Amino acid sequence: MDNNAPIGVFDSGVSGLTVAREIMRQIPNERIVYFGDTARVPYGSKSKQTILKFSRQIIRFLKTEGVKAIVIACNTASALALDDIEKELDIPIIGVVRSGASMAAKATKNKRVGIIATEGTINSNIYKDYLSSIDSEITVIGKACPLFVPLVEEGMIDDPVTKEIATRYLNYLRNENIDTLILGCTHYPLLRNTIKEIMGDGVTLVNPAYETAVELKTLLKEKNLANIKEYESASVMYKFYVSDAAEKFSRFANSIMPFDIMPAQQINIDEY
């Protein structure tokens, strides 16, 4: 495998960019091919069977780009598809869930951890299972927040409506005496300020993106896959593909990335 080959990163849409930007920050000399499944978002309310089918198609596409490793930058797909796909693949693959769980286990002092995520992730109980396997004394309290995704997609990040909805969702967790809260959906770090304000300073917010990038860096080193070449320009290092609405994706990406991205290209993911 060529060490200069890119890392494939995929998500149900735009928000996996929060994971991609963390990888870019921590390992700037790794090339990235990002795929956002903007035609089929949201994943959060879909069945395991559907998420597996979508994930397999995306991985087939990413492999045509010659990727050397894959990061599932979507909690729902990590929760529902990673275990099956890992067994089928001949290149390394990681998701965001394991990283988020181990970060939360390190952060909690009172062993009461909250998790907010999509319905798919919450109902899979995957965060609960990982956290219990790390420390059986940890109690996990989950809450699905399905309206957060459309609010972020609509750009209503600092909107009073978002604050009102967040208050309703999070009141449940505020009464549970948690000291750590996992932002278990890639959209939620974009609502970090609102969530922080409601939960207060006594609750540590965990963004799995950070630990995912740490885990990826270690994995590339272990497998002798780390790129030895230096960072070039963003336009050389990063490529963005979507399954729909490329212009809208590029606008959103430019609003959250520290540089202007090359226009995203639309592909027909059903061909893969």
Select 67 or 72, whichever has its Cβ closest to ligand DGL.
72
Q: Which of residues 127-156 bind ligand DGL (CB under 6 A)?
A: 149
Q: Respond yes or no: is residue 74 known to be catalytic.
A: yes
Catalytic residue of the set 20, 77, 79, 185: 185
Candidates 5, 6, 8, 11; binder of ligand DGL (CB under 6 A) is: 11
180 by DSSP, 3-state: which? strand
Number of residues that bind ligand DGL (CB under 6 A): 16
Which residue pairs, CB below 8 angstroms and at least 24 apart, start in 231-234? 231/28, 231/29, 234/259, 234/260, 234/261, 234/262
Q: What is the spatial distance between Cα 107 and Cα 179, in angstroms, rounded to a whole number?
A: 8
The residues, ordered by sequence, that sit 6+ positions from 44 with a Cβ below 8 Å of its Cβ are 12, 76, 117, 118, 119, 120, 121, 146, 149, 185
Select 15 or 57, whichever has its Cβ closest to ligand DGL.
15
Q: Which of residues 182-211 bind ligand DGL (CB under 6 A)?
A: 185-187
Candidates 99, 102, 118, 207; binder of ligand DGL (CB under 6 A) is: 118
**Which span (9-17, 97-105, 174-182, 191-199) binds ligand DGL, by CB under 6 A?**
9-17
Catalytic residue of the set 17, 69, 74, 173: 74
Phi, psi of 263 (to 5 degrees): -50, 135
Select 24 or 185, whichever has its Cβ closest to ligand DGL.
185
Does 76 bind ligand DGL (CB under 6 A)? Our answer is yes
Does 22 bind ligand DGL (CB under 6 A)? Our answer is no
Q: Respond yes or no: is residue 145 known to be catalytic.
A: no
Q: What is the spatial distance between Cα 105 and Cα 131, in angstroms, rounded to a whole number?
A: 7
End-to-end Cα distance, the chain: 22
- 156 neighbors 176 (Cβ within 8 angstroms): no
Does 18 bind ligand DGL (CB under 6 A)? Our answer is no
200 by DSSP, 3-state: which? coil
Candidates 75, 102, 108, 207; binder of ligand DGL (CB under 6 A) is: 75
Residue ranges that bind ligand DGL, judged by CB under 6 A: 11-12, 15, 41-44, 74-76, 118, 121, 149, 185-187
